[in-house]
Amino acid sequence: MKPKPKYVELSLTPADNRRLASLCGSHDEHLKQIEEYLGVEIASRGNLFRVSGGAEESHAALQLLKDLYEVTEGKGELTLAGVHAALQQLALRAPDTDSDRESTLRTPKRIVRGRGPRQRQYIRNILTHDINFGIGPAGTGKTYLAVACAVEALESNRVERILLVRPVVEAGERLGFLPGAIEQKIDPYLRPLYDALNEMLGFEKVARLLEKSVIELAPLAYMRGRTLNESFIILDEAQNTTAEQMKMFLTRIGFGTTAVITGDITQIDLRRTQLSGLKQAIEILRGVDGITFTHFTPQDVVRHALVQKIVEAYESHDKDAEGQPPAK
């Protein structure tokens, strides 16, 4: 019995030297990026590509090469950032699995899918639990996916309204020092949530829902005394909540309500004497039935390739600083 080959091959057609050069990149930098990310080896000769490595990873690499080659059609040119973005979207699994369907969100303007195992698990957690924490660096989709889950819940009539909540502190400056009414003060800080809503519902529908208070924007301090039923609540930038605020928020949850708390514990803007409510909640609530925690890493970043490197560099610096003795 002949042993199975340890590589898979792909012939890209039509063979076009310009497109093949764009696919491979200068000095094969695009192929090297794919190799490093997927843990495979790629050899190319003309339009013939041979990929060596694990079966699942190798077939994923072949599919990616096909997809990227299509991008080069016409005058399309590949960049390292484009290859990185494609890698982030690549799922190392057979398409249309049960896991894939369970983590697909359908909104009026677009279909949103989890990119990678952590995002898919995050979506499944939100769909099946009442209180969910998404913790990790910028660019990992914590807030965007939470908004997508909220929109789908509203459109399918599982909830009656969406509440977008943030603590009103940013980089140590309190919003009371800014001119304007509270809505005008908090509006710029909720812009990422606005952008996600507009992508999924459209500008006009978002405006109508805001006018009818079906979508509500609220500073965290305004949540005290309320009990919220049949709602989808997103607490964004939760690392800037105090311990008291976090407890207050979590006890506002009513019947039929889903809450998602997102934050990055490496970007806390509170005074040094204040304990972050998010950090405390992670310690106190871990293991409580009905509450989920999804921890994202720099490898889950889905923005520009440099964002992942920046996050990793800061993490490395923080770890080195923690290991140093205090200055005399």
Walk along the chain (328 residues) and give the pLDDT tens digit of each residue. 444 557 899 999 998 999 999 999 999 999 998 888 788 899 999 999 999 988 878 888 998 999 899 888 876 788 887 787 777 666 434 444 555 566 788 888 888 878 777 888 999 999 999 999 999 988 888 999 999 999 999 999 999 999 999 887 654 445 455 555 555 666 666 777 888 899 899 999 999 999 999 999 888 888 887 888 999 999 999 999 999 999 999 998 999 999 999 999 988 888 888 899 999 999 999 889 999 999 998 777 766 556 667 767 887 777 777 666 544 4
Q: How many CB atoms lie within 10 A of CB 221?
A: 12
Distance CA 205, CA 138 (A): 28
Question: Count of CB atoms within 10 A of residue 200's CB?
Answer: 24
Asked if 241 and 272 touch (Cβ cutoff 8 Å), the reply is no
Angle at 85 between CA 81 and CA 86, to 5 degrees: 120
Among 146, 113, 142, residue whose Cα is nearest residue 232: 146
- Please report the domains of the chain, with CATH numbers, ordered by start residue: 7-89 (3.30.1370.10), 98-312 (3.40.50.300)
Residue 312 has a CB neighbour count (10 Å cut-off) of: 15
pLDDT of amino acid 95: 47
Spell out a b/e string for 289-305, using b for 16 or more CB atoms within 10 Å of the CB, else e: eebbbbebebebbbbeb
Say what the pTM is.
0.66
- For CA atoms 308, 144, 219, 258, the dihedral sign is negative
- Extract the tokens encoding 78: 């590949």
- Rounded CA separation 86/92 (Å): 12
Q: Which tokens belong to 236? A: 């964004």
Q: Which of 117, 13, 17 is nearest to 65 (CA)?
A: 13
CA–CA gap between residue 156 and residue 160 (Å, rounded): 10
112 forms bridges with which residues in the sheet? 105
